[in-house]
């Protein structure tokens, strides 16, 4: 069996990372998926904080874990999230060069007989950091959100990319016409109108227009509906499981799991790729 762990939205909190490393050492999974927003929260424009974490704490801890686990050290698949500055990407790529993790945004990697894809972008949000935001299926944005053409970025991108790139076109390009029945997708954004994208926006209005309580990606949902991968992993909306009463959902044959959590604990999803129906989630 290909045993895996999934976590997301750790926001650089050391106690959560220590719990994750303890579970990795105890359970010795083959794969660990980290679904974005892994850097310290509130680090926007705080370059030293980010560097201390991604070039100091993380490599030190992962190196110690690799030494203690030896041949049982798992493959660690990571993407960034909308709270993570893209300026930290070179430091993440250095961790990959050192063999400590695999950075899979916009890439695919084989895992036993399965294949793992990563994709970090989310639809427009009300937040100002736009490094990991894209238009969803068109240039429409919901009331209260800020366009990817506005806000600020830690890394500049061409005007054409800011204006015309969409999550839909990215996913079409990433996967082409490949069969995805044995594919695992590590997303930061959840799909639209599921148990995983329910936000605490009940009764909220912008200029007299009610805000949608579902804030996931339409493009991600349509992609899952059309392509039916084995499993998709999501984060981003911390309160969704508390509001809907479920951290999982299905779209057709595809199983969807969320590891986002609005409490102080670490949410860990454990699953076997050969038997995803039996997945469990615990709060540590």
Q: Please, which pLDDT band fits residue 42 given cuts at 50, 70 and 90?
A: low
Q: Please, which pLDDT band fits residue 47 given cuts at 50, 70 and 90?
A: low
pLDDT at position 51: 79
User: What's the rounded mean pLDDT across residues 137-164?
Assistant: 92
Instruction: Give me the chain's average pLDDT, please.
Output: 94
In the chain, % of residues over pLDDT 70: 97
User: What's the rounded mean pLDDT across residues 117-121?
Assistant: 98
pLDDT tens track for 253-266: 999 999 999 999 99
- Look up the pTM and report it: 0.96
User: What's the rounded mean pLDDT across residues 136-140?
Assistant: 92
User: What's the rounded mean pLDDT across residues 177-198?
Assistant: 97
pLDDT at position 58: 96
User: 33 pairs with which residues across the strands?
Assistant: 6, 77
In the chain, % of residues over pLDDT 90: 88
Domains defined for the chain, CATH in brackets: 3-283 (3.60.21.10)
User: What's the rounded mean pLDDT across residues 38-56?
Assistant: 75
CA angle 55, 127, 225 (to 5 degrees): 90
Render the chain in DSSP notation, one character per residue: --EEEEE---TT-HHHHHHHHHHHHHH--SEEEEES--SPTT-TT-HHHHHHIIIIIHHHHHHHHHHHHGGGPPEEEEE--TTS-GGGHHHHHHHHHTTS-EE-BTEEEEETTEEEEEE--B---SSSB-TTB-BSSSS---TT---TTSSB-SS---HHHHHH-BHHHHHHHHHTT---TTEEEEESSPBSSSTTSB-S-TT-EETTEEPPSB-SBHHHHHHHHHH--SEEEE-S-TTHHHHHS-SEEEETTEEEEE---SSSSPEEEEEETTEEEEEEEEE-
How many other C-beta atoms lie within 10 A of the C-beta of residue 199? 18
pLDDT tens track for 210-251: 888 999 999 999 999 999 999 999 999 999 999 999 999 999
Cα(83)–Cα(35) distance, integer angstroms: 12
């500055």: which residue's tokens? Answer: 85
């Amino acid at each position: 069996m290909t045993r895996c762990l999934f976590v997301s939205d750790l926001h650089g909190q050391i106690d959560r990372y220590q719990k994750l490393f303890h579970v990795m050492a105890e359970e010795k999974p083959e794969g660990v998926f980290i679904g974005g927003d892994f850097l310290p929260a509130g680090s926007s424009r705080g370059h030293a904080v980010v560097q201390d974490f991604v070039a100091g704490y993380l490599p030190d801890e992962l190196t110690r874990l690799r030494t203690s686990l030896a041949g049982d050290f798992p493959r660690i698949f990571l993407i960034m999230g909308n709270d993570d500055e893209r300026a930290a990407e070179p430091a993440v790529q250095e961790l990959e060069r050192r063999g400590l993790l695999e950075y899979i945004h916009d890439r695919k990697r084989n895992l036993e007989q399965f294949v793992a894809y990563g994709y970090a972008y989310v639809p427009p949000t009300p937040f100002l950091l736009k490094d990991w935001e894209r238009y969803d299926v068109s240039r429409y944005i919901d009331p209260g959100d800020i366009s990817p053409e506005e806000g600020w970025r830690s890394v500049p991108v061409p005007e054409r990319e800011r204006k015309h790139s969409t999550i839909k076109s990215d996913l079409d390009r990433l996967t082409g016409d490949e069969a995805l029945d044995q594919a695992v997708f590590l997303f930061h954004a959840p799909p639209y109108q599921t148990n995983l994208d329910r936000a605490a926006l009940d009764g909220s209005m912008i200029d007299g227009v009610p805000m949608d309580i579902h804030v996931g990606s339409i493009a991600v949902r349509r992609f899952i509906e059309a392509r039916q991968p084995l499993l998709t992993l999501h984060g981003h909306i911390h309160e969704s499981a508390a509001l809907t009463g479920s951290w999982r959902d299905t779209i057709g044959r595809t199983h969807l799991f969320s590891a986002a959590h609005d409490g102080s604990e670490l949410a860990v999803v454990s699953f076997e790729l050969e038997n995803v129906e039996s997945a469990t989630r615990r709060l540590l």
